[in-house]
Amino acid sequence: MEDLQFDTITSLQRREAYAEITFDLEPGKNATLKGKVDTGASDSILPLRTFRKMYPSSVSADGNPVGLEPSTVRLSAYNGSPIQHYGTITLQCSYRDSERVTARFFVCDCSGPVIFGLPLSYLLLQKGSFH
């Protein structure tokens, strides 16, 4: 197995690592988000509050996201408690100035940070974003 080294990610606490990833919101408009790198997470999470800021025109009058891809995937937290989600959004993103990758995020009404799960971390590693 190949050794992977994450020397460009900041660690704010001994057991957590965070990175800033740039997302293409629309042509000519980007957003950079700080999120928790969680290689133990099987998917990436975009909290509803963050989705609302990124895509204010994709929020209904009652504050719920519109235009997401439906999903029947059941998400659960590390402790096994279920995480409800509204569906998924597929985003183009990059770490620093690396090649863009396509990543799926579940939009959840949760209080935690943006989570960059294993699939996104792996894609960015393949593109040479982390070394």
Q: Which residue type occupies 107?
A: V
CA distance 24 to 99: 12
Which pLDDT score is estimated for 129?
Answer: 54
Whose tokens are 């990175």? That residue is 19
What pLDDT, on the 0 to 100 scale, is given for residue 53?
A: 94
**Gap between the Cα atoms of 45 and 125, Å rounded:** 19
Encoding tokens for residue 102?
């396509």
pLDDT in tens, 45-98: 999 999 999 999 999 999 999 999 999 999 988 888 999 999 999 999 988 777
Are the beta carbons of 22 and 92 closer than 8 angstroms?
A: no
pTM of the complete model beyond 0.75: yes
Dump pLDDT digits (tens) for 84-109: 999 999 999 988 777 888 999 999 99
